[in-house]
Amino acid sequence: MTQPDRPYWGAIVPLPAPLLASFARQAEELGLAGLFATQVHGAPFSTLAAAAMVTERIQLGTGIAIASTRSPFETAMTAMDLDRISGGRFVLGLGASTTSWTEGMYGVASERPRSATRRGR
């Protein structure tokens, strides 16, 4: 299938492996430019690694990974691993979240993500 004039991305969530594989393959066959996995049900990285294993062309990105919930070093190493696994198709998206998520769900004091990244928590 040819790429559309505008690059469209889809979203992918943690699913049982056969469903996740089927969804990722269909997204690629439909000509989507990429798939985002969000940090809602946990870190997005394992979902994207699984999608990378069954696709060849589609880009895979975090949309978003919460910057303050892990160290900058761990984030960088995970991004490098995913880029290798996907053959250069990984796109890292970092961002902030609400205080209730960072403090309540992840147990991390709320602060500006850029500050946390610079400090190297």
* Residue 41 one-letter amino acid: H
- 41-82 pLDDT, tens digit each: 789 999 999 999 999 999 999 998 988 888 889 999 999 999
- 91-109 pLDDT, tens digit each: 999 988 776 677 666 667 7
Higher pLDDT, 121 or 50: 50
CA–CA distance, 26 with 29 (Å, rounded to integer): 5
| Domain segments of the chain as ranges | 9-61+69-119
> How far is CA 19 from each of CA 11, 35, 98, rounded to the nearest angstrom?
14, 15, 30
